Amino acid sequence: MFVDEDGRPITVQQWAHKFEDLPGRTLASDHVEAGTLMTVWVGMVDHTSCCRRAFSTGWSTTEGAWRDVEHYDTKADAEHGHARHLASLRAGRPLTFVHGDEELDPT
């Protein structure tokens, strides 16, 4: 199922059009010394999968590698999650990624 930023169902064509606009679907983006923490609207919802949620926070290294940090069902949860992960990074705590047990040292 595809949803807009407010959780309302949309068609695959509407989703594809919105998905192409990365700046328009970015809720928050913060550069931290070793990379960028970014939270974006994804718009795919499948509650049988841990990875198919309306919003996602991820970590992008300076080399361009992307790792999922957390997925959310609502915009409010995504904004709160981004702020929580950013505070952790700024405090020097590592991120834990959605897939696997690997942690990233932000320093």
Return the residue matching tokens 């990875």: 51
C-alpha closest to that of 54 among 27, 29, 31, 94: 27
- Say how many domains are in the chain: 1
8 Å CB contact between 73 and 24: no
Beginning with the edge strand found earlier in the chain, give each strand of the sheet holding 26-32 in spatial order. Answer: 26-32, 35-41, 55-61, 66-72
Domain that includes residue 11, residue range: 2-104
85-102 pLDDT, tens digit each: 999 999 999 888 876 444
pLDDT tens-digit series, residues 61-78: 878 788 889 999 899 999
- On whether the pTM is more than 0.85, the answer is no
Residue 44 · residue 73 · CB < 8 Å: no
